[in-house]
Amino acid sequence: MRISYLGLLASLSRIDRRIIYLLVACAVALPLLAASTTRLIPAEESQSFHRAIAQLAEGETVLLAVEYNAGTAFELEPMVVTLVEEVFSRNARMVVSCFDAQGVGLVEETIAELAAASGKTYGTDWVFLGYRPSAPGVIISLATAPYAVFPRDHRGNSLSDLPLSSSLSGYADYQLVAVIASGTTAQDWVIYGTGRFHAPIIVGLGGGIGPTFQSFIDARTITGLIAGLRGAAEYEQLAGRPAEALRALSAQSTAHVLLVLLIVVGNASFFAARWLERTPY
């Protein structure tokens, strides 16, 4: 009987991969259909991220550097949405730059919609600089000579003609630098931006590179950090603006539990198969 249980366990390693895909699909879809929600205990770095924005005073300026495209939008756009809503609700102003050639249209559309909903005026309350190649060069230029790289904004306006950007001179213009990035741009900001900008730098990252930035929090190179959907959900909760990330988190948790179970069952199946191979009866 013991052998038959082991045989059953061993046979799980030969399960059709499409059944696993179906299980993952169910694990994601069912919590979304059930509209279940999750309550989180925010991490310290997420609280620091939110605190940096909450301390903004009216009229202060945020430099927002965004890097995402259609492929990574769902992970990072919730961060941008909550951040922009919060900045505008404090009547702070925003200079936005995009660091992904494929994401320029997405970023501008998202922020323009949020600005319109908040009753903010382009040129006075926010400016979209657009995209320029070479992140290091753009970062250094934004800190020292913004007109050299961005003589005009993405809409073709001369920066000197817009009230918000007419007096831009560099690092001293900003009270906060927020970086929302899916790739290596965030590390470029750590290398080239830290020290050049005297304002605190907060970072929102795609999940894949989140853990590598934990050491920058410990070293106080950056002030705040949110990573992946969990970080975005924590930030939404802290900001009191529950939205897309908090809604999706229960699906994420269910999928994670399933993945852990599959890893455990897969390992158990592997060892069971090996045991059966070595046992003659």
Residue 130 or 170 with smaller CB distance to other proteins: 130
CB under 8 Å to 172, separation ≥6 — which residues?
Answer: 198
Residue 10 or 202 with smaller CB distance to other proteins: 202
Minimal distance in Å, beta carbon 195 to other proteins?
Answer: 7
- Alpha carbon distance 75, 68 (integer Å): 9
Minimal distance in Å, beta carbon 202 to other proteins?
Answer: 16
CA 191, 197, 201, 206 dihedral sign is: negative
Minimal distance in Å, beta carbon 21 to other proteins?
Answer: 5
Residue 59 or 208 with smaller CB distance to other proteins: 208
- Alpha carbon distance 190, 49 (integer Å): 16
| Torsion angles phi and psi, residue 270, rounded to 5 | -60, -45
Minimal distance in Å, beta carbon 164 to other proteins?
Answer: 20
- Alpha carbon distance 77, 99 (integer Å): 14
Residue 8 or 29 with smaller CB distance to other proteins: 29
Residue 13 or 221 with smaller CB distance to other proteins: 221
Minimal distance in Å, beta carbon 54 to other proteins?
Answer: 25
Task: Return the biggest CA–CA distance within the chain.
Answer: 86
From residue 181, give the alpha-carbon distance in Å to each of 80, 107, 170, 208.
10, 12, 21, 11
Q: Which residues bind other proteins (CB under 8 A)?
A: 18, 21, 24-25, 28-29, 32-33, 35, 69-75, 101-102, 104, 130-133, 136-137, 140, 148, 151-152, 154, 190-192, 194-195, 206-212, 215-216, 218-221, 227-230, 244, 247-248, 251-252, 255-256, 259
